[in-house]
A and B are shown apart, each in its own frame.
With several copies, the nearest count.
Chain A
Amino acid sequence: MHVSVRIQEDDIWVADEYRALRDRMPGTIGAIATFIGLVRDQQADDEVLSLTIEHYPGMTEQSIHTIVESAGQRWPLDDVVIVHRVGELAAHEQIVFVQVAAGHRAAAFAACEFLMDYLKTDAVFWKREATPHQTRWLESSAQDESRARAWKTPDPTEQN
């Protein structure tokens, strides 16, 4: 499994990531699932001006590699790329990019969603949201926690 994990202030160039995957890709890959998270310009009816993301260099990368290894043990994956931005991001900017290539679509979809769910709960980042009225540090929601926990229970669809 080829794995690339990058934390960067720079923007994410989705087209370049996809081209690089196609270039290095073994031919047995039939399915590529990707996810891109953007800064929403609204949160609970308040306008979002920016999101500032902080990380702990070294520990953050390790936390993501641990998540990727879990996914790799769970599904037959060929290629995983995760790029996560840090610093101050304006509304509509790209935050995170996850790209998973596998032989078949079930594994690619499941792993991509699994990776996003665990990035929400287990990756070492902190996010501060600025609205016209306040600045506050975010926590992963109860919903995020329950989505991540759901992967720990046996999944009846996993054999498909």
Chain B
Amino acid sequence: MDIDVLFFASLRDVVGAASISVQLPVPAGQRELLAVLGERFSDTVMQALQAENVRISVNKTLATQPLSYSDGDEIAFLPPITGG
């Protein structure tokens, strides 16, 4: 299945792209996603994506583990937020 993966703010800077498309096996969760990303990105990038303060959203909703992805999902890696 195909999903879109988005990177915001400092994570977009680290990854060097705002979004990528990836193909995942079915079924797939966060472990499968990280495995596919790990083939594409360096250890430095992967460490940044897996930092303790990074949250994951699925289709614009904050997600809690364990995650299970579906075809067409929009996954985002969100570094710490602050507005106002």
**What residues of chain A have their CB less than 8 Å away from a CB belonging to chain B?**
37, 53-54, 56, 58-60, 62, 64, 84, 95-96, 105, 116, 119-128, 137-140, 144
- Residues on the A chain within 8 Å of B60, using CB: 56, 58-59, 62
B84 & A96 in contact (Cβ 8 Å cutoff): yes
Q: A62 — which chain B residues lie within 8 A by C-beta?
A: 60-61
Residues of chain A contacted by B6 (CB below 8 angstroms): 56
Q: A59-B57, A62-B60, A137-B9 are in contact. Are A119 and B80 (CB under 8 A)?
A: no
Given A58-B60, A59-B60, A137-B79, CB of A128 within 8 Å of CB of B9: yes
Task: Report how many residues on chain B are interfacial, defined by Cβ distance under 8 Å.
Answer: 17
In the assembled complex, the Cα of A60 lies from the Cα of B13 at a distance in Å of: 20
**A124 B78 Cβ-Cβ under 8 A:** yes
Count A-B pairs with CB separation below 8 Å: 66
A51 to B83, CA, bound (A): 12
Verify if B50 is at the interface (C-beta below 8 Å from A).
Answer: no
Q: How far is the CA of A116 from the CA of B10 in the complex (A)?
A: 23
Inter-chain contact B57/A126, CB cutoff 8 Å: no
Asked if B83 and A84 sit within 8 Å, CB to CB, the answer is yes
> Which residues of chain B come closer than 8 Å to A56, judged between CB atoms?
6, 8, 57, 60, 76, 78
